[in-house]
Amino acid sequence: MKPAPFQYRAPGALAETLALLDQCGPDAKILAGGQSLIPVLNMRLAAPRYLIDINRVAGLDYMEDRKGYLAIGALTRQRSVERAEIVRRRHPLLVEVIKYIGHMQIRNRGTIAGSIAHADPAAELPALLTCLDGEVVARNSSGERVIGADRLFTDHLTTSLEEGEILTEVRFPWLTPQAGWSCIEFARRSGDYALAGAIAIVCATSRGTCQSARISYFGIAPTPIRGHEIERMLIGTTLDEATLQTAARMAESLVDDDFNDIHATATYRRALVAEATRRALQIAWHKT
């Protein structure tokens, strides 16, 4: 299939990009890696009048160690982050999550920011940002604003980015050295969209009980889901098998009743998310 006709623009600076967004309004789409956008265009699920290619915009391809978080620019490729020494050393969970994204050829072109802006409910990176309470930076011609993950994802393939805004930076808080972590995903084949997945981060006290816990889900609702009640339940426990089974049962209630598609029913996803919860928490706990 081929996309509907569009006008192509390739600005060389961020200011020019923002001016084009003002000029084109809601009829424009931003092209970065294109690994999410191009299939949507080819299937004519979207038909923008203008395609604004930002690959020539200088200053958007970077990874920076900031106080408390890793800052990633809008043009930074997923494969670059996956292979970066500082990320492998200080944020192994981010590396693990990226490995689940499609195949290497996809990650060579796909961007971290593009995946998050696309907001596919089956995508791993939005769920990781949610799990970490991460942030993004959005820019328009009037300035910039910082948006927390809890306010970014609003519906299926929908974010709180406003008309004329572009996501320029993603901020992933660093993991503490003591944290245990895990990402568990179920898909029909390696590289396919997730039917259900869980990302867990836990920290233990010196007495061997759970001090803090974070768990988020993807593939089970129109947006990433944070398991706040599960997190509270885990505090003070030793994450024994009985506790893990309780967490698994609680996770089943997070699956959207209407989240049925050609890949899986909501009932099947409940079974998957229960097992993903148990495995993710168990593995994360053993790493503490």
The DSSP annotation for 48-68 comes to -SEEEE-TT-TT---EEEETT
Q: Alpha-carbon dihedral of residues 243, 246, 248, 254, nearest 10 degrees?
A: -130
CATH of domain 180-286: 3.30.390.50
Which range is least confidently modeled, 41-45, 136-140, 180-184, 238-242?
41-45
List b or e across 255-268, with b for residues whose CB sees 16 or more CB atoms inside 10 angstroms: beeebeeeebebee
Is the pTM value of this prediction over 0.95? Answer: yes
Task: Provide the percentage of residues in the chain whose pLDDT is more than 90.
Answer: 97
Distance of alpha carbon 82 from alpha carbon 76, whole angstroms: 11
Distance of alpha carbon 162 from alpha carbon 106, whole angstroms: 27
Residue 1: pLDDT band by 50, 70, 90 thresholds? Answer: confident
CATH ID of 63-173, from 3.40.50.300, 3.30.465.10, 3.90.76.10, 3.10.180.10: 3.30.465.10
Average predicted confidence (pLDDT) for the chain: 97
Q: Do the domains 63-173 and 180-286 sit in the same CATH topology, yes or no?
A: no
Q: pLDDT tens digits, residue range 171-212? A: 999 999 999 999 999 999 988 989 999 999 999 999 999 999
For helices 266-286 and 241-252, what crossing angle results, to 10°? 150
Q: pLDDT tens digits, residue range 115-162? A: 999 999 999 999 999 999 999 999 999 999 999 999 999 999 999 999
Q: Does the domain at residues 7-53 carry the CATH identifier 3.30.43.10?
A: yes
- Catalogue the E-assigned strands of the chain: 7-9, 28-31, 50-53, 63-66, 69-73, 135-140, 143-148, 153-155, 158-159, 166-173, 180-186, 196-204, 210-218, 225-226
pLDDT at 39: 92
> Per-residue pLDDT averaged across 216-241, rounded?
98
Q: pLDDT tens digits, residue range 78-116? A: 999 999 999 999 999 999 999 999 999 999 999 999 999
pLDDT at 172: 98
Residue keyed to tokens 């509907």? 4
pLDDT at 250: 98
pLDDT at 63: 98
Domain boundaries of the chain, sorted by first residue: 7-53, 63-173, 180-286
pLDDT at 245: 98
